[in-house]
Amino acid sequence: KAKSQKRSYYQVFQGDMHNEALAELQLENEIRQGLEAEEFILYYQPIINLTNNQLKGFESLIRWNHPQKGIVTPFHFINLAEQTGLIIPIGLWVLKEGCKQLDKWHNHILNSSDNHKTIPIISINLSSQELNSEKFLPTLDNILKETKVNPEYIKLEITESSPIFQEQSTQYILDAIVDRNIQLWIDDFGTGYSSLSYLHRLPINGLKLDRCFVTDIETNQKKAKMIKAILSLAFDLGVEVIIEGVETEKQLEIIQEMGCIWGQGYLFSHPLPPEKAGDILLSSN
């Protein structure tokens, strides 16, 4: 009896594995088709200068405009895209689309008769795999050539946990980015368990402090002290800091008092579809 029971558990387990694998395979195919059908879009979340409340620019955040499911966030597809290598074509598309959008905004602003003040930056997320792809640098150069967008307005965000910050053999990719006058930013700073040595070793322009630091800043004295220390270290190293995930007025007040200059979060705005971001940009000028 025991034996047959064991077998049935085993079969149930196998069945689950099978379903999961099947669901993943299906999603993988859907992502592939979605890319082909141009169902991916970029949303844009404002980055704010906390000293004068002015818009600095936007972080681009990918969404999947799925024919049945509607707007799907990266949580539901980025991991699988990374596991299957689909992140490479997706990432190259993101890079191109983000730069094209920035170029459009720049042209619009520069060609308009208004006395515009904000020439926006764009901050684009890169995956490690994409950086290691041999297509990355040629694609980047093509985009810069095609759009003639000023590279000084492009920031590339790489998560702190990316192996590229620890490996010598791929550092030339980071150097190549910086050679093109593009800014290099560390994303999710403070979550990567990595040594801080890259801060002085590599040409980093800025840090995006992970939102877990700011969420309980009102009640957690230790986190507040850590933010202060990070801001001070960054300032001494000449590295800029954006605090991510600012949601309340109180959080804003605290980080402003600490002297933080850049912020991003739902308090200012959720990520917006391109037309809405454009409206905000042009009305802020």
Residues near ligand C2E (CB under 6 A): 45, 61-62, 73-75, 78, 91, 94, 125-127, 157, 187-188, 211, 244-247, 265-266, 271
Residue 247 interacting entry, from Mg ion, ligand C2E, none, C-beta within 5 to 8 Å by type: ligand C2E
Residue 61 interacting entry, from ligand C2E, Mg ion, none, C-beta within 5 to 8 Å by type: ligand C2E
9 versus 75: smaller Cβ distance to ligand C2E: 75
**Interface positions, 114-133, toward Mg ion (CB under 5 A):** 125
Which residues fall within 8 angstroms of residue 209, CB to CB, at 6 or more apart? 189, 190, 227, 230, 241, 242, 243, 244
16 versus 38: smaller Cβ distance to ligand C2E: 38
Could you say whether residue 139 binds Mg ion (CB under 5 A)? no
Shortest Å, Cβ 62 to ligand C2E:
4
Stretch of residues binding Mg ion (CB under 5 A), selected from 83-91, 104-112, 177-185, 186-194: 186-194
Residue 190 interacting entry, from ligand C2E, Mg ion, none, C-beta within 5 to 8 Å by type: none
Could you say whether residue 187 binds Mg ion (CB under 5 A)? yes
- The two tokens of residue 132 are 């290691």
Stretch of residues binding Mg ion (CB under 5 A), selected from 30-38, 64-72, 83-91, 179-187: 179-187
Which residues are bridge partners to 62 per DSSP?
42
Handedness of CA 231, 235, 237, 243 (dihedral sign): positive
147 versus 159: smaller Cβ distance to ligand C2E: 159
Shortest Å, Cβ 91 to ligand C2E:
5
Residue 79 interacting entry, from ligand C2E, Mg ion, none, C-beta within 5 to 8 Å by type: none
Residue 266 interacting entry, from Mg ion, ligand C2E, none, C-beta within 5 to 8 Å by type: ligand C2E
- CA 85 to chain centroid, in Å, comes to 18
**Interface positions, 157-176, toward Mg ion (CB under 5 A):** 157
Question: Residues in the site for Mg ion, rule: CB under 5 A?
Answer: 125, 157, 187-188
